[in-house]
Amino acid sequence: MAVWARLDDVCVRYGPKIVMQNLSLDIVEGAITCIIGLSGAGKSTILRLLNGLKKPDSGRVFVQGRDITTMRERELIELRRSIGFAFQFSALFDSLTIGDNVALPLREHTKLHEDEIGRIVRETLESVGLAHIEERYPSELSGGMVKRAGFARAVVTNPQAVLYDEPTTGLDPIITHVLTETILKLRERLNGTAVVVSHDLESIYQMADYIAMLFEGAIVAYGKVDELRRSPNPIVQQFLQGSEVGPIPI
């Protein structure tokens, strides 16, 4: 079982607040790993650690065997070209068409001709179910369509891994299902790795190969879906059942 990335004994603080303490986690190559936990637990920080946007206060982060905590900014920029990032609120530019939004990484990081960029953008949008919308603007799309356009921008360069930050937050069950299926299809299309931060348990059960639960700065449970659902850990069971009764303070 190959490992795409590894957090090794990582500690992260924001001022006096300890977000992670001696946290270790392996991200399996070619799999979808979902990270769950309470709001504010530091799940999104894990994504920023994996693409070098955040450095740990101590510990190390390895991506494809390379220690990225010692990398210079130039090396980190190169690393990020191989990692797609789908932001929680999509982070599309309102003043640009959907086509231009999706084309941005290609224009920034490649020397492709505009005709070739246009072809890749169209194919990528089609792969997320958004054919023929290149000329429209983000404000003209539904929330679910904006999310999928954000996915398209994250994968347009065929990255080795894609990081999804809360991809289904605030969306209805139908759109949540569409986005979950899209993440599965993109993983298959890219033949790559995905890390998904989410609260949506039904979506996670559908797409996860592995689940890691973050609680009070540490990974308290890790395994396949069935393993986590059968976990004897009362913290895990309280979270999965959404119960008020248990060791997690309400």
Domain membership of residue 185 (yes or no) is no
pLDDT of residue 219: 94
* Mean pLDDT, range 75-97, rounded to an integer: 88
What per-residue confidence (pLDDT) applies to 97?
Answer: 95
Q: Name the 3-class secondary structure at 220.
A: strand
Note whether residue 32 is domain-resident: yes
Bridge partners (DSSP) listed for residue 13: 18
Predicted confidence (pLDDT) at residue 194 exceeds the cutoff of 90:
yes
Span 143-165, average pLDDT? 92
Please check whether residue 174 lies inside any domain of the structure: no
Q: Is residue 13 assigned to a domain?
A: yes
pLDDT band at residue 29 under the 50/70/90 scheme: very high
Q: What pLDDT, on a 0 to 100 scale, did the predictor assign at position 226? A: 95
Please indicate, yes or no, if residue 188 is contained in any of the structural domains: no
- Can you give the CATH number for the domain in which 33 is found? 3.40.50.300
Identity of the highest mean pLDDT range in 166-175, 189-198, 240-249:
189-198
Contact call for residues 31 and 222 (beta carbons, < 8 A): no
What's residue 104's pLDDT?
92
Specify if 217 maps to a domain: yes
Residue 211 within any structural domain of the chain: yes
Q: Residue 213 belongs to what domain range? A: 1-82+199-250
User: What is the Cα–Cα distance from 128 to 125, expressed in whole angstroms?
Assistant: 5
Classify residue 2: in a domain, yes or no.
yes
| Structural domains in the chain (count) | 1
Q: What is the pTM of this model?
A: 0.92
pLDDT reading at 88 higher than 80: no
What ranges in the chain are assigned the alpha helix state H?
43-50, 73-80, 98-109, 114-127, 143-155, 173-190, 201-207, 225-229, 234-241
Tell me: pLDDT of 168 over 80: yes
Question: What is the sign of the dihedral through the CA atoms of 191, 129, 123 and 114?
Answer: negative
